[in-house]
Amino acid sequence: MRVRIGVLNDEHVGSMFGLWPDNYPTSNSGIYQLNQGQRYLLDNWNRIAAEIPPLDLLIFAGDEMDGKQPKSEGAFICEPKAPRQKDAALELLSLFKKRVKRGGELYSVEGTDYHMGKNAEWSEELAKSLGAVPMAPGRTCWDWLLLEVGGKRLDVAHRQTVTIIRRSSPGERELDFSEMHKNPADLVIRAHNHYYFWLTLSREDRVQHYLSCPAWQLQTHYCRTSISPNRKDGTMLGMVVVTIEDGEISHRPYLFPHPPQRRAVYVRAGIHDGRIAEGTTTEGGA
């Protein structure tokens, strides 16, 4: 038996650094024109949706929307209304939903309150619209998903510890916490960190795996102005497909790099030897 599981997360639909559908009306009845980075994301979104194999399960692992961004007063969002962000996210995610086989299943896991609303309000609304498997009557989105499939146990949640260096540390931590559980997981899946990382840990009697899933958001203004600019995001974006077959767990990442403008470009100062260089002004750079 072979089971293929796709994992998608951190699309941050509504962010100027995240995904947005092409020619899609905003809440003010206008048409938002994608910027260069968003066009790059959307092109890869469409490409990967066509490349991945048919899926038995699809897991949406949180932060599909960017929310209202109150800390920046909405300075870096292309759509301020959460209902419209939800509709746009549904439009985009439906492309991957089509890759699920007949009889397959969808699961949705809560994102952060900052992006998805208090008490997972928009995580729930989106999960219902996608037709995800419910957690309980009256509740569709899962806060923490423990799933048995293909003879293996999966532990899926959005949040995890964020580290800049030694990126195996969150995985080791999550696997150790899982080991404390009565029925420890064979595979722990987390999002939120915005970088891809796969870790395999051999126990005395079995093997455990950890997957940190990549994001679909480019480097934001928040990352550029943080205490560690240019270091908070991974170098790759995309998604991961996990395969369970004959008692073994394997995975294939579908990754693509941040565009070249992600890293700081050193500009040449316009002053040389105490004089203004030819072709520059005192108001501009080189």
Q: List pLDDT tens digits, range 162-216.
A: 777 788 888 899 998 898 888 999 999 999 999 999 999 998 888 999 999 999 9
Q: Is residue 211 part of a domain?
A: yes
Of 156, 133, 127, 146, the C-alpha closest to 64 is 127
**Domain assignment of residue 63, yes or no:** yes
Residue 7 resides in a domain: yes
**How many structural domains is the chain composed of?**
1
- Asked whether residue 282 is domain-assigned, the answer is no
CATH number, residue 205: 3.60.21.10
145 burial level (CB within 10 Å; 0-12, 13-18, 19+)? buried
Residue with tokens 């840990």: 201
Give me the chain's average pLDDT, please. 90
Average pLDDT over residues 231-244: 87
With pLDDT > 70 as the criterion, what percentage of the chain qualifies?
A: 90
DSSP-based helix, strand, coil % in the chain, nearest 5: 25, 30, 45
Least confident of 62-66, 110-114, 168-172: 168-172
Residue 283 included in any domain: no
**Nearest Cα to Cα of residue 252 among 29, 97, 48, 74:** 48
Residue 129's domain spans which residues?
Answer: 2-276
Amino acid 151 reads G
Q: Is the distance from CB of 110 to CB of 116 less than 8 angstroms?
A: yes
Does residue 277 surpass a pLDDT of 60?
no
In a domain, 286, yes or no: no
Scored b (16 or more CB within 10 A) or e, 231-270 reads: ebbbeebbbbbbbbeeeebebeebbbebeeebeeeeeeeb
Residue 154 lies in a domain: yes
Confidence of residue 48 (pLDDT cuts 50, 70, 90): very high
Q: Tell whether 285 is covered by a domain.
A: no
Q: Is the pLDDT of residue 276 over 80?
A: no
pLDDT of 138 strictly over 80? yes
